[in-house]
């Protein structure tokens, strides 16, 4: 019963939705007829005002022209509303017949008693993952083909490295980014990305090659946050933990308050302070 009640309600709503423009058109026609009556009354008033001497013949002619222009516009709108429209009774009967035929066809071919298929979130997630992986692989294939034909395209190399990094494959990004750095040695953002890629590929260890990249970045911009963070991490990994803490504290002070990476650095600095038996509240 609930199923059939739901079907009935949805069917009625569908008919109303389809018929509404047709019914609205009927209203538009009625409104146009009312407008025409008003304009005819205005023409009569112009004639009366001219007869009483309130307006001049020239003013009367100008008023008549304007009113007649509006009448023509209303008549055109009315004709467009009528064009292709069925009479209202025919429209209503047609809607009801369509509903009856739809229900009859469903009873003959459908299966109203068939239980619904339960939603499978894991299957949907799996399908989505496959689609994303497929799209990524296709993009990589196009990029690789482009770089084969244009091996010195810095932007293409950067795109390849960035995409592989986002895909969690830093070891595959290193070659492209290293070549890009060789071609554009003054691009500090690229150099910092290359250093970060080396760290990611080494499971978080800041190697000598990565440190050299960050030092080159800091030589051009002593306040570069990424280079400062990783240089501090290198100090921490090599036993110079107090120097690392001092560097991170300065980085936190100089960073925008809404920087998305700030909470992570602050947490690492506080943990390092505890390890050094320093009050973590000293970390800003």
Considering only CA atoms, which of 152, 146, 216, 212 is closest in space to residue 182? 152
What was the pLDDT predicted at 271?
92
Considering only CA atoms, which of 240, 244, 246 is closest in space to residue 231? 244
- By the 8 A CB rule, do 22 and 91 touch? yes
- Long-range own/partner contacts, residues 6-10 (CB < 8 A, 24 or more apart): 7/103
What was the pLDDT predicted at 69?
60
Question: Is-above-0.85 flag for pTM?
Answer: no
Separation between Cα atoms, residue 77 and residue 81, nearest integer Å:
6
Kind and range of the H or E element at 169?
A: none
Which backbone phi and psi does 255 adopt, to 5 degrees? -85, 150
What was the pLDDT predicted at 176?
92
Q: Which residue has the tokens 């009367």?
A: 60
Separation between Cα atoms, residue 252 and residue 267, nearest integer Å:
11
Q: Is 92 buried (19+), middle (13-18) or exposed (0-12) by CB count in 10 A? A: middle
Kind and range of the H or E element at 20?
A: helix 2-52
Looking at domain 130-282, its CATH superfamily turns out to be Tetratricopeptide repeat domain (1.25.40.10)
What was the pLDDT predicted at 205?
94
What was the pLDDT predicted at 126?
75
What was the pLDDT predicted at 185?
92
The tokens describing 35, both together, are 């407008």
Residues of the chain where predicted confidence (pLDDT) is lower than 70? 1-41, 43, 46, 49, 55-121, 124-125, 128-129, 132
What was the pLDDT predicted at 146?
87
């Amino acid at each position: 019963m609930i199923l059939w009640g739901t079907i009935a309600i949805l069917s009625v709503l569908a008919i109303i939705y389809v018929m509404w423009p047709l019914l609205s058109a009927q209203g538009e026609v009625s409104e146009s007829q009312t407008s025409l009556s008003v304009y005819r009354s205005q023409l009569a008033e112009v004639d009366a005002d001219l007869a009483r001497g309130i307006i001049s013949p020239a003013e009367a002619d100008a008023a008549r022209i304007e009113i007649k222009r509006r009448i023509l516009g209303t008549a055109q709108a009315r004709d467009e509303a009528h064009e292709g429209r069925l009479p209202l009774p025919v429209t209503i009967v047609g809607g009801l017949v369509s509903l009856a035929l739809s229900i009859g066809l469903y009873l003959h071919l459908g299966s109203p008693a068939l239980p619904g298929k339960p939603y499978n979130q894991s299957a949907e997630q799996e399908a989505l993952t496959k689609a994303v992986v497929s799209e990524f692989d296709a993009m990589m294939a196009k990029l690789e083909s482009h770089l084969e034909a244009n091996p010195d395209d810095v932007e293409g190399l950067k795109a390849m490295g960035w995409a592989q990094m986002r895909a969690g494959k830093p070891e595959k990004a290193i070659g492209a980014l290293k070549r890009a750095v060789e071609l554009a040695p003054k691009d500090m953002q690229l150099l910092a990305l290359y250093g970060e890629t080396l760290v990611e590929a080494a499971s978080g260890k800041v190697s000598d090659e990565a440190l050299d990249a960050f030092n080159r970045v800091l030589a051009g911009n002593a306040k570069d946050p990424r280079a400062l963070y990783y240089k501090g991490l290198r100090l921490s990994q090599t036993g110079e933990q107090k120097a690392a803490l001092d560097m991170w504290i300065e980085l936190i002070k100089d960073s925008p308050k809404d920087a998305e990476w700030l909470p992570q650095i602050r947490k690492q600095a506080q943990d390092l302070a505890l390890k050094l038996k320093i009050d973590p509240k000293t970390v800003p």
